[in-house]
Structure 1
């Protein structure tokens, strides 16, 4: 009986050690991937000084934006995720829906996009296998940071300029108990197509707070300015995630971070410790049995 128990313990110990080693060497990368069932709605609100084309007057308005980002599992793969994203910016009169029709005067802008990113590094992917030829070629990070984000500068996609710009690391900040990394994107007086077919000057001062474990964006503030070449204002907007959106992002980041921690840290630790104990116990019983037999 002792021999049977020793054999079971030796087998269990070996299994636990091999499983823990497998998770350490391979499992982390396997689980640190953007889910293919991603379907998020991000809400922002703020103010904007906007040129009214009908009156040629700049009006001060309350605005809100909604961005829907959904993964296309059929077009995605084990390494790449394809996203369909729509964004709508509207004048908030207190009863404005998430988005309105083009004929509605409350519509400021609406856009849609298809893009692909690496599921682990979050870097843009431009392979025609994933994105249609009509999609704009992108570079850098697009809609999130990589898993295990670092305290360093990254390049972050800016749709107005059509290129990736520097996102400079700007320290850490705790939001509702979650430690985040803060990054700063600063674009000053760059020539750009500020309205379809109209060239002008574009500036952007944006801060992003990132959960380093999952790479998700927890909060975002931006001050965007679009001017005509003569310096007259088309849009001067300050926009940020709503308080409710930030609370939701924090809760999801904590849940996802705990799950990743369980899979990448707790389970390997249990495997190594439990496996070592089982091997020692099995070896002890096996050796004890041999000694008893010899005696």
Structure 2
């Protein structure tokens, strides 16, 4: 009787562990595979050594605009807007994060500001892709907030999906203000972490810029020209941790130049920006922690619980079966003997 009780307990425990394993893999993991609404990514710093760039400097009443050479530093900061995200309704409710992004490019030698911008974007918490939201905006400068509806973001920008695949995605180009394909190239290691390398090639083309800005630049660098345009090209390389979708390393080799109708060409910026080692190490650490947690919840713990649970199911069955009294085979009674007749 005791063996049957012990066997039943072992069988029930095994069944419970299998159910927990299934719940972790198919219920808990999908729920935690989302960006937290209050997630504040670390500030990223990119170095742009030996760059060519246009700098506007004001000395008293004089504004001097000239092409410079030197090292640049790009800084990106992100602030989550939990209150704005809580206002979203319909399909966006509880599935969307809202971020305010601040960007600045400075000279590395004297910290003088070269360019600044800010933007607001809403992204899907699972895929990391921009969603249709009326509050999207972008503006140059570090003064007034950007005007809602001034830009329409689409595709990936600051994150990739949880469970990033080896395929082509659409990645938003802030200069052209539209998404373009970014292709998977290889699987590599960054700081010992396995990552997917994606590359986006943007061939040289005209960048749609404010006509007043273009004519202002023409007045400085090509005063005899009557018209012109800004030509733009870049090659972006992103290294993405596939489990979390975190961009753990980033490089942008961009080139813009002013082309006047007189044939004159002036380089406005030619620089290769890449995460600094400190930025890369910080993001790799956070991505590693996230990967470890998700892999444990989705794979390692469920597999371990399943193996243990199945083992207890089998053991419980055998113990319970061993506790039963074996059935006895019916014993055939010998045929009765009849006395022989005397001869």
Same fold per TM (> 0.5)? Answer: yes
Tell me which moved more, 238-247 or 51-60: 51-60
Residue deviations 1:273-293 (CA, integer Å, cap 9, x gap): 121112222222222222369
Tell me which moved more, 159-168 or 182-191: 182-191
Which residue of structure 1 aligns with residue 218 of structure 2? none
Q: Is the CA contact 1:10–1:283 (under 8 Å) kept in the aligned structure 2? A: yes
Distance 1:293 1:147 in 2: 57
Distance 1:73 1:292 in 2: 67
Using the TM superposition, give the Cα deviation of residue 125 of structure 1 relative to its aligned residue in structure 2, in angstroms. 0.9
Does structure 1 residue 70 correspond to structure 2 residue 92? no
Does structure 1 residue 5 correspond to structure 2 residue 3? no
Does structure 1 residue 110 correspond to structure 2 residue 144? no
Question: Kindly tell me: are residues 170 and 196 of structure 1, through their superposed partners in 2, closer, same or farther at Cα, counting changes over 3 Å?
Answer: farther
Distance 1:26 1:278 in 2: 23
Residue deviations 1:203-223 (CA, integer Å, cap 9, x gap): 112111111221111111112
SS in 2 for 1:254: helix
SS in 1 for 2:233: strand
Q: Is the CA contact 1:115–1:135 (under 8 Å) kept in the aligned structure 2? A: no
Which residue of structure 1 aligns with residue 178 of structure 2? 163
Q: Is the CA contact 2:100–2:119 (under 8 Å) kept in the aligned structure 1? A: yes
Question: Kindly tell me: are residues 112 and 294 of structure 1, through their superposed partners in 2, closer, same or farther at Cα, counting changes over 3 Å?
Answer: farther
Using the TM superposition, give the Cα deviation of residue 79 of structure 1 relative to its aligned residue in structure 2, in angstroms. 2.1
Using the TM superposition, give the Cα deviation of residue 139 of structure 1 relative to its aligned residue in structure 2, in angstroms. 1.0
Does structure 1 residue 152 correspond to structure 2 residue 167? yes
Distance 2:66 2:196 in 1: 40
SS in 1 for 2:159: coil
Tell me which of 108, 112, 121 is aligned to 1:92.
108
Distance 1:294 1:25 in 2: 48
| Greater Cα radius of gyration, structure 1 or 2 | 2
Tell me which moved more, 124-133 or 208-217: 124-133
Distance 1:196 1:259 in 2: 50
Which residue of structure 2 aligns with residue 261 of structure 1? 295
Distance 2:113 2:314 in 1: 70
Unaligned runs of 5+ in 2: 57-62, 87-92, 138-146, 215-229, 330-343
Distance 2:108 2:16 in 1: 60
Distance 1:27 1:126 in 2: 28
Does structure 1 residue 203 correspond to structure 2 residue 233? yes
Tell me which moved more, 21-30 or 108-117: 21-30
Using the TM superposition, give the Cα deviation of residue 237 of structure 1 relative to its aligned residue in structure 2, in angstroms. 2.1
Using the TM superposition, give the Cα deviation of residue 2 of structure 1 relative to its aligned residue in structure 2, in angstroms. 3.4
Distance 2:72 2:328 in 1: 87
Query: 1:1-295 to 2 correspondence within 5 Å?
Result: 1-39=2-40, 40-47=42-49, 48-53=51-56, 54-74=63-83, 75=85, 77-93=93-109, 96=111, 106-128=112-134, 133-134=148-149, 136-194=151-209, 197-199=212-214, 200-230=230-260, 231-291=265-325
Which residue of structure 1 aligns with residue 222 of structure 2? none
Unaligned runs of 5+ in 1: 97-105
Q: Is the CA contact 1:49–1:58 (under 8 Å) kept in the aligned structure 2? A: yes
Distance 1:272 1:292 in 2: 32
- What root-mean-square deviation, in Å, do the aligned CA atoms of Structure 1 and Structure 2 show? 2.5
